[in-house]
Structures are given as structure tokens and as C-alpha cells.
């Protein structure tokens, strides 16, 4: 009988200890603040350039009050906060969600604009990390994506207050992409891959005819045709260069083409020669 009482007392103490231990190990749950307070704290953080703090406040509001009075404005401000924090992928995703969830919102043009701008800034950041790569290995796909998103924005909201900035960025993007193509062309010239260089020059002429890079693109095609002994084609493009750019830096005083200074000793790309120039 005494053994049973002792065992019962031991089990009671063990149970109480287990409950107390479990309670002490549980994380402290912060009490919910009023919805407006989360929103105001997020706004204040943005005003003080504390983007990371603002992100937390807006996300807390979104989690605690998913159908609240301030959630739409908070989700819109979250896009900007993530952008300011240089979280461009997150800002793009938040803009995409806003577009999907609020297709009739009055600020929809802002969401479309920020979506494109996030891609643009993200591409700039990514590009800066790979400056030491040769031009052919640099990825310009994000710049093309940004251009397409700005174009989509302008098609939907041609009179938006953000339209002038979008147009200016699109012009800049076209120039960047065209210049990127020419950088690759010069890289191929160094590798004695004239067919590949020719393709890059033609790409600029055909798809980016209004950019300042067209003059150089014509020179690239002339040089490539000369390297390939296709002199008739070279003369055709030379005539175009003379007609459109009579004061071109690629023409001498007698309007003759000034050849590029190509390296005399350069190891051609093996795959290029094996495939007869069909593979860059």
C-alpha cells in the first residue's frame, strides 16, 4: 500500500513537472496590435528609410488581417518596401500577386510599373556581378524581359504618370541590348568567328534600327563580309553606311571603309570551325 502511494505521488510530481516544462518551452506569442497600428508603423519605417522594418510591419498586417481595411494599401506599399530594400525578386513577385488579386484597383498601373522596374533593377545588379565575363557569356535575358514588361505597362496605361519614365527606360534598354550584341560581335572577331560576328551585326540592324548602335553594326557586317571574302555584300552594306552616316568614324576622307584592328594571332574556337560556323 505504501509503495502504491509513493508511486502515485511520484507520477503526480512528474506530470506537473512535464506540464511546466512544456509551457516554458513554448515561444511567446506577441499580442496582435490594431490593424492601423501595423500600417502606420510600416509607413513610418518607410519615411525613415527603414525598408526591412517596413516589410515586416506590412507582412505582419497581411498575416493578422488578411481581409482588413488596410491590407490592400499594405500590399501595395510592400512592393515599394521590398524594392527599396533591393529585394527585387520579392518586389516583382509581390507586384505579380497584386496584379492577379486586384485587377480593377485604381493603383494597378503602379503595380505593372513596379513589376517592370524590379526586373530592370535586378538585371542591372546581376549584370554588375559578371563584368569580368566575356560578352558572349553575359546574360541579357532579364533586360529583354524588363523591356517586354515596360511595353506591356505602356500598352495598358499609356496615360499613366509613370509612362514617361517607362519610355525613357525602354530607350535605354534598347541601346543597352544593341550594344551588348555588338560586344559579342567583337568577341567573335577576336576568335576569328566572322559568321557569328556577322549574325550579331545583322541582329542589331534588323531589330534595333533606331539605336545609335546601327552605325557600328553596319561596320561589323562590312568587316565580317570582307573576312569571308564576300565583297559584293560588303560593298552593299558600305553603300548603306555612306548614305546614312556620311561622317562615320568607320569611313576615311575618301569615304573608304576603315577596317577594324583585328588581332593577328587568335586561337579560333574549335567548335566554330568544326561546325563551319554554324555553332557559335
Residue 251's SS3 state is strand
Residue 121 is assigned to a structural domain of this protein: no
For position 81, what pLDDT does the model report?
97
What pLDDT is attached to residue 280?
Answer: 44
Task: Give the residue from 85, 118, 151 where a domain finishes.
Answer: 85
- Closest among 67, 68, 69, 92 to 79, alpha carbons compared: 92
Domain that holds residue 280: 184-280
**Residue 64 placed within a domain:** yes
For residue 136, give the DSSP letter: G
pLDDT of amino acid 264: 57
Q: What is the per-residue pLDDT for 277?
A: 44
Q: What is the pLDDT of residue 279?
A: 43
The pLDDT averaged over each successive group of 10 residues in the chain (280 residues) is 51 52 51 87 95 96 93 96 96 97 96 97 70 56 92 97 96 91 92 95 94 96 96 96 96 93 55 41
Residues contacting residue 49 through CB under 8 Å, at least 6 positions apart: 84
Q: Any residues with CB less than 8 A from the CB of 112 and at least 6 apart, and which?
A: 95, 99, 149, 152, 153, 156, 157
Domains: count for the chain? 2
- Tell me whether residue 142 is in a domain: no
Amino acid at each position: 500500500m505504501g509503495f502504491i502511494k509513493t508511486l502515485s505521488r511520484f507520477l503526480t510530481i512528474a506530470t506537473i513537472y512535464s506540464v511546466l516544462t512544456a509551457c516554458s518551452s513554448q515561444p511567446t506569442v506577441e499580442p496582435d496590435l490594431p490593424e492601423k497600428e501595423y500600417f502606420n508603423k510600416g509607413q513610418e519605417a518607410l519615411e525613415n528609410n527603414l525598408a526591412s522594418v517596413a516589410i515586416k510591419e506590412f507582412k505582419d498586417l497581411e498575416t493578422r488581417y488578411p481581409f482588413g481595411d488596410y491590407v490592400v494599401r499594405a500590399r501595395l506599399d510592400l512592393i515599394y518596401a521590398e524594392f527599396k530594400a533591393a529585394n527585387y525578386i520579392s518586389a516583382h513577385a509581390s507586384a505579380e500577386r497584386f496584379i492577379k488579386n486586384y485587377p480593377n484597383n485604381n493603383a494597378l498601373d503602379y503595380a505593372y510599373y513596379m513589376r517592370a522596374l524590379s526586373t530592370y533593377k535586378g538585371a542591372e545588379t546581376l549584370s554588375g556581378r559578371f563584368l569580368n565575363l566575356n560578352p558572349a557569356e553575359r546574360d541579357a535575358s532579364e533586360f529583354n524581359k524588363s523591356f517586354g514588361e515596360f511595353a506591356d505597362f505602356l500598352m495598358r496605361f499609356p496615360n499613366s504618370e509613370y509612362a514617361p519614365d517607362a519610355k525613357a527606360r525602354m530607350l535605354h534598354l534598347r541601346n543597352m541590348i544593341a550594344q551588348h550584341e555588338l560586344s559579342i560581335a567583337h568577341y567573335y572577331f577576336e576568335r576569328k568567328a566572322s559568321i557569328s560576328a556577322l549574325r550579331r551585326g545583322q541582329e542589331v540592324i534588323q531589330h534595333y534600327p533606331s539605336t545609335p548602335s546601327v552605325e557600328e553594326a553596319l561596320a561589323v557586317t562590312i568587316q565580317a563580309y570582307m573576312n569571308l571574302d564576300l565583297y559584293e555584300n560588303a560593298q552593299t552594306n558600305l553603300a548603306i553606311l555612306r548614305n546614312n552616316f556620311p561622317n562615320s568614324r568607320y569611313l576615311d576622307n575618301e569615304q573608304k571603309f576603315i577596317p577594324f584592328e583585328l588581332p593577328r594571332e587568335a586561337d579560333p574556337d574549335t567548335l566554330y570551325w568544326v561546325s563551319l560556323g554554324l555553332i557559335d
